[in-house]
Amino acid sequence: MATLTDIGLAAAINILSAIAFLIAFAVLRLQPINDRVYFPKWYLKGVRGSPTRSGTFVHKFVNLNLRSYLRFLEWMPAALRMPEPELIDHAGLDSAVYLRIYLIGLKLFVPMAILAFAILVPVNWTNSGTLENSKVEYSDIDKLSISNIPLGSQRFWAHLVVAYAFTFWTCYVLLKEYEIVASMRLHFLASEKRRPDQFTVLVRNVPPDPDESVSELVEHFFLVNHRDHYLTHQTGFLGLCGDEVDAIEFYTSKIDELSEKEATERETIKHNSKSIMPAAFVSFRTRWGAAVCSQTQQTRNPTLWLTEWAPEPRDVYWQNLAIPFVSLTVRRLTVAVATFFLTFFFMIPIAFVQSLANIEGIEKVVPFLKPIIEEKTIKAFIQGFLPGIALKIFLILLPTILMLMSKFEGFTSLSVLERRSASKYYLFILVNVFLGSIITGTAFQQLNSFIHQSATEIPKTIGVSIPQKATFFITYVMVDGWAGIAGEILRLKPLIIYHLKNFFLVKTEKDREEAMDPGSIDFASSEPQIQLYFLLGLVYAVVTPFLLPFIIIFFALAYAVFRHQIINVYNQEYESGAAFWPDVHGRIITALIISQLLLLGLLSTKHAANSTPLLLVLPVLTIWFHRFCKNRYEPAFVKYPLQEAMMKDTLEHAREPNLDLRAYLLNAYVHPLFKDEDDDDSFSGGGEQEYENKLVPTKRQSRKNTPVPSKYNGSSSPSLPDIVKEQL
């Protein structure tokens, strides 16, 4: 059982590690040779020049200005100084809203910590004799927790009242944040510059037709059913893999040969019917037309001509467009089963990691190490530091595995892939890191107590033991949340890779730009980790308030570090307009409900018969609150109001009456390997002259897929050729 001394040693190690990382970063960022590593975003924007181009030879590599080293911490106020509207213009709404997650942590847990230390800690600490007379192991930290309250005590009323206060405060903060973020999203969509995805719909499961190609079929369908708004379309291609031919110094003839082969291969793909996917990006003349199409059913058969808002061009995951729609259900069922087994079978290594928190368990496995382990410093290191870092190592490869599973499910945008992967990762963390650590830790640590007591005493032992896992989570927060965040700003791996590439591979400015590797916010792995801290804070706020200061330090440090990274380093791959916020809100609500249920179970073992039933109200109120927020604010993240679309269209038409929208959208959704082509007509259809045609020409002899308005009431509509003949 880790003591306050063990926690103090772990805190000292992690604080020193964090300080060392921050000092190293503060010094390295000042060196001209590292400028592209720590400020790559400004280079990509073209507003920062390399300091290595001027000055003496030494000045190109080392900063000899001693005064600049005295201001080595100026990066922190500089990161906090940029206003949020300017941050949105600079980095996008996704980045700005991502930072608000850390602010929510501070808004929640700072008042909670003040209230808990003012009320709960004195209530817990002033009681004596409970833990001393129990049959379980305990530490000094447990004296600050609910474990120190005797069975049936009236002091549990204080925990009940505080639990209600924490629930109402959490719901209030979440409500205000949901309202603010929804407003930010709508304002962002209304005020941002014109983007192709505002006019474009992704169409999937285009039915095959024996008489028309996919491109002709898509053009015909939308000219008939969206005559006044359809503009153009672009079909996707299979078999697109490999890298584009890059600039090659020397061997001009080799370049020409490769370019000719590349052009030939492109033409082969475009004219091969087997390479055309049953999907298309259909662009409309107005945002209003795209909004109507994306949010309505196109045919009687709800499985054909499926439409959804197209992701922005940078957000498209092209590989998954080729997956047949009928296989998506099977794929997602397969991944769900695989996720279940991965999540629950990973409990075995988690149990092993938890055994490291118990010195006695290690000594039983390796008894010959007992003299070494019993050394005071080594013992404190093992119990206070090793479990947290061991668990961190176990989790390193998991996000990559979960991302591969999400890609297998068939989602067509990077943003959705990251959100789906984040959902799996959060489930994994919830089951293994949180519940697994509590269950396995309790079972291993209190096994002897279980064996030597009656069955009626076991629930009481578990109830007392759950708060004791706070010591393990404190060490985990310090390893992952303190030293880990400080290590993030150091960017040691990108620093080494950049200099290796710069020394051995870089020959041109383009090579140097590619070597920078600014990276981006890894939402799939970082957001679930943040949610773990919300879960720990909400669960232990009433049970063991001593954990809260450690979590507050994490949120404060992470906010400053990631704000700096977003301003100076990260270059986001896409912009989703904060579409991830409903997931963030939902997971915090889940954590709140779990905390209420665990507190309910804990108090039920404490014979708090008068206060425990009142806790049943909290989960019900929380679920009702979640449903209210979902109905009130979530539509702003999944739908686009027609009123907003019409308003933006009207304003744009008034400001730019001569805008050639077709030219703007024509190649927006061409696969990256076809971007440099000049042949526009091969990808599109539906020119301006077609809008005036009263009839839509077609090659098809059957109209089983695209109905046209019929004047023949009470009978099946004739084919398009029949209508043409009749009108002639």
pLDDT (0 to 100) of residue 134: 56
Judged against a pLDDT cut of 70, whether residue 305 lies above it is answered with yes
pLDDT (0 to 100) of residue 49: 74
Same domain membership, residue 240 and residue 124: no
Partnered with residue 282 across adjacent β-strands are: 201, 233
pLDDT (0 to 100) of residue 487: 86
Q: Which two tokens stand for residue 115?
A: 């209230």
Pairwise pLDDT comparison (367 vs 43), residue with the higher score = 43
Pairwise pLDDT comparison (437 vs 484), residue with the higher score = 484
- 448 touches 430 (CB < 8 A): no
Q: Please indicate, yes or no, if residue 484 is contained in any of the structural domains.
A: yes
Nearest CA-CA partner of 63 in 33, 94, 24, 101? 33
Same domain membership, residue 97 and residue 47: yes
Pairwise pLDDT comparison (158 vs 708), residue with the higher score = 158
Q: Please indicate, yes or no, if residue 554 is contained in any of the structural domains.
A: yes
pLDDT (0 to 100) of residue 44: 86
pLDDT (0 to 100) of residue 274: 55
426 contact partners, CB below 8 Å, separation of at least 6: 527, 528, 531, 587
Same domain membership, residue 554 and residue 629: yes
- 139 touches 3 (CB < 8 A): yes
pLDDT (0 to 100) of residue 365: 64
Query: Hey, is 308 helix, strand or coil?
Result: strand
The full DSSP string for 480-516 is IIIIHHHHHHHTHHHHHHHHHHHHHT--SHHHHHHHH
Amino acid (one-letter) located at 612:
T
Q: Tell me how long the chain is.
A: 728
C-alpha 652/C-alpha 286 separation (Å) is 10
Work out the pLDDT band at 438, boundaries 50, 70, 90.
confident
Judged against a pLDDT cut of 60, whether residue 319 lies above it is answered with yes
The full DSSP string for 616-648 is GHHHHHHHHHHHHHHHHHTHHHH---HHHHHHH
Same domain membership, residue 229 and residue 152: no
Same domain membership, residue 182 and residue 201: no
pLDDT (0 to 100) of residue 248: 44
Q: What phi, psi does 18 have (nearest 5°)? A: -65, -45
Q: Please indicate, yes or no, if residue 710 is contained in any of the structural domains.
A: no
pLDDT (0 to 100) of residue 720: 38
* Interaxial angle between packed helices 617-633 and 581-604, expressed in degrees from 0 to 180 and rounded to the nearest 10: 170
Q: Please indicate, yes or no, if residue 321 is contained in any of the structural domains.
A: no
Judged against a pLDDT cut of 80, whether residue 107 lies above it is answered with yes
Judged against a pLDDT cut of 60, whether residue 566 lies above it is answered with yes
For residues 621-635, average pLDDT: 95
- 578 touches 97 (CB < 8 A): yes
Judged against a pLDDT cut of 80, whether residue 312 lies above it is answered with yes
**For the segment 370-391, what is each residue's pLDDT rounded down to a tens digit?**
777 777 777 766 666 666 666 6
Judged against a pLDDT cut of 60, whether residue 652 lies above it is answered with yes
Half-sphere exposure of 71 (CA within 13 A, CB side): 8
Q: What phi, psi does 639 have (nearest 5°)? A: -130, 160
Element containing residue 276 per DSSP (H, E): strand 276-284
**Least confidently predicted of 267-276, 329-338, 634-643:** 267-276
Q: Please indicate, yes or no, if residue 651 is contained in any of the structural domains.
A: no
**Least confidently predicted of 213-222, 250-259, 318-327, 549-558:** 250-259
Work out the pLDDT band at 604, boundaries 50, 70, 90.
confident
- 96 touches 87 (CB < 8 A): yes
**For the segment 394-418, what is each residue's pLDDT rounded down to a tens digit?**
677 888 899 999 999 999 999 999 9
Average pLDDT, whole number, for the chain? 79
pLDDT (0 to 100) of residue 205: 84
pLDDT (0 to 100) of residue 353: 62
Work out the pLDDT band at 242, boundaries 50, 70, 90.
very low
For residues 119-134, average pLDDT: 72
pLDDT (0 to 100) of residue 701: 54
Q: Please indicate, yes or no, if residue 491 is contained in any of the structural domains.
A: yes
For residues 180-206, average pLDDT: 88
148 contact partners, CB below 8 Å, separation of at least 6: 124, 125, 127, 128, 130, 131, 142
**Least confidently predicted of 222-231, 408-417, 564-573, 595-604:** 222-231
- DSSP single-letter state for residue 307: E
pLDDT (0 to 100) of residue 250: 47
Judged against a pLDDT cut of 50, whether residue 360 lies above it is answered with yes
Q: Please indicate, yes or no, if residue 620 is contained in any of the structural domains.
A: yes
**For the segment 330-358, what is each residue's pLDDT rounded down to a tens digit?**
999 999 999 998 888 877 766 666 565 55
C-alpha 401/C-alpha 525 separation (Å) is 11
Same domain membership, residue 247 and residue 396: no
Query: Hey, is 582 helix, strand or coil?
Result: helix
Work out the pLDDT band at 707, boundaries 50, 70, 90.
very low
Same domain membership, residue 577 and residue 554: yes
Partnered with residue 290 across adjacent β-strands are: none
Question: Count of domains in the chain?
Answer: 2
pLDDT (0 to 100) of residue 728: 41
Nearest CA-CA partner of 308 in 235, 201, 226, 415? 201
Same domain membership, residue 661 and residue 573: no
pLDDT (0 to 100) of residue 478: 86
Q: Which two tokens stand for residue 15?
A: 């604080």
- The range of the structural domain enclosing residue 353 comes to 4-192+329-638
Same domain membership, residue 586 and residue 539: yes
Same domain membership, residue 102 and residue 161: yes
Nearest CA-CA partner of 585 in 520, 547, 633, 537? 633
Same domain membership, residue 302 and residue 387: no
C-alpha 309/C-alpha 520 separation (Å) is 24
pLDDT (0 to 100) of residue 414: 93
Same domain membership, residue 123 and residue 35: yes
pLDDT (0 to 100) of residue 700: 55
Work out the pLDDT band at 172, boundaries 50, 70, 90.
very high
Structure pTM?
Answer: 0.82
Radius of gyration of the chain (CA): 30
Q: Please indicate, yes or no, if residue 413 is contained in any of the structural domains.
A: yes
pLDDT (0 to 100) of residue 440: 61
C-alpha 588/C-alpha 591 separation (Å) is 5
**For the segment 525-560, what is each residue's pLDDT rounded down to a tens digit?**
999 999 999 999 999 999 989 999 999 999 999 999
Within 10 A of 498 (CB to CB), how many other CB atoms are there? 21
Work out the pLDDT band at 175, boundaries 50, 70, 90.
very high
Q: Which two tokens stand for residue 602?
A: 């804990």
pLDDT (0 to 100) of residue 528: 93
Helices (H), 271-323: 287-294
C-alpha 445/C-alpha 135 separation (Å) is 12
